[in-house]
């Protein structure tokens, strides 16, 4: 895993955008995984700016949503699919048919295989852009997730529920389950970029850099990936 130390949060977005744009320059119909959340905001802003300036045509990209809450309605504004459509896909003119996303009300036993089949039909994932959670999760692959796990329904960890409470008002209102691409799904991506931004992420980044791969730290699968890059801003970067 390569480590890139960005100059600041803005530079983190710029560097991540450069990787996305290089992927699309090589293959305009590349299959890209994106998360939502606080971390990718700078990346999204940068991509939208490039698009508005006429330097990025992402209209042929195929996008897979990293994760989703389970048990909410499809049109809930807080669904990750609605969030990604609003904040990235619509501004980039990527049409709804080019998004592969878990249905929040999807069948618990078959929704994961539906998404895996969709990814396979698109020729696999070219680039997975990921954030790291406070507890080291990738998507909703919480600690304990097997390195070879595939897309599936999972229970959210207490730290994830606490962290996402800001979007729901109270922790009690956060859906306790979700769907996520698996660590095995993400490890099969041709390229993986993990973003970490802000002081709250510093200790988990430090653990990631120190630890050998272990299911206790889901993001550590990136160590074994042949083309993984961790981009950290100074607030998230451990000294050294
Ligand atoms: P954040 O979430 O980008 O909102 O910090 C990351 C995560 O929990 O996966």
- C-alpha distances in Å from residue 233, one per residue of 86, 178, 223: 25, 28, 19
Ligand 1 nearest-atom number relative to CA 35:
9
Residues designated catalytic: 67, 135, 137, 142
CA distance 168 to 197: 22
| Residue located via tokens 């990235």 | 88
- Ligand 1 atom at minimal distance to the Cα of residue 198: 5
CA distance 207 to 136: 9
Name, in order, each residue with C-beta under 8 angstroms of 144's C-beta and a sequence gap of 6 or more. Answer: 215, 216
User: Which positions ≥6 away from 18 have C-beta within 8 Å?
Assistant: none
180-227 pLDDT tens trace: 999 999 999 999 999 999 999 999 999 999 978 999 999 999 999 999
Q: What whole-number distance in Å separates Cα of residue 23 and Cα of residue 19?
A: 6
Give the Cα separation of 182 and 95 in Å (integer). Answer: 25
Using one digit for the tens of pLDDT, what is the confidence trace for 46-74? Answer: 999 999 999 999 999 999 999 999 999 98
pLDDT of residue 211: 77
> Which residue puts its alpha carbon closest to atom 7 of ligand 1?
133
């Amino acid at each position: 895993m390569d480590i890139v130390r960005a100059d600041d949060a803005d530079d983190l977005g710029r560097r991540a955008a450069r990787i996305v744009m290089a992927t699309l320059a090589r293959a305009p119909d590349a299959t890209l995984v994106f998360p939502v959340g606080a971390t990718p905001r700078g990346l999204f802003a940068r991509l939208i700016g490039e698009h508005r300036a006429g330097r990025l045509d992402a209209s042929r990209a195929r996008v897979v949503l990293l994760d989703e809450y389970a048990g909410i309605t499809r049109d809930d504004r807080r669904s990750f699919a609605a969030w990604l459509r609003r904040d990235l896909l619509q501004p980039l003119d990527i049409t709804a048919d080019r998004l592969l996303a878990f249905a929040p009300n999807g069948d618990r036993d078959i929704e994961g295989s539906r998404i895996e089949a969709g990814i396979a039909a698109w020729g696999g994932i070219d680039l997975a852009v990921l954030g790291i959670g406070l507890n080291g999760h990738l998507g909703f692959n919480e600690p304990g997730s097997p390195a070879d796990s595939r897309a599936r329904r999972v229970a959210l960890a207490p730290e994830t529920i606490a962290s996402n409470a800001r979007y729901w008002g109270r922790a009690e209102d956060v859906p306790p389950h979700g769907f996520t691409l698996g660590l095995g799904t993400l490890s099969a991506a041709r390229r993986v970029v993990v973003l970490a931004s802000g002081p709250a992420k510093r200790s988990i980044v430090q653990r990631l850099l120190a630890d050998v791969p272990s299911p206790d730290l889901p993001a550590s699968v990136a160590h074994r990936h042949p083309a993984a890059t961790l981009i950290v801003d100074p607030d998230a970067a451990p000294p050294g």
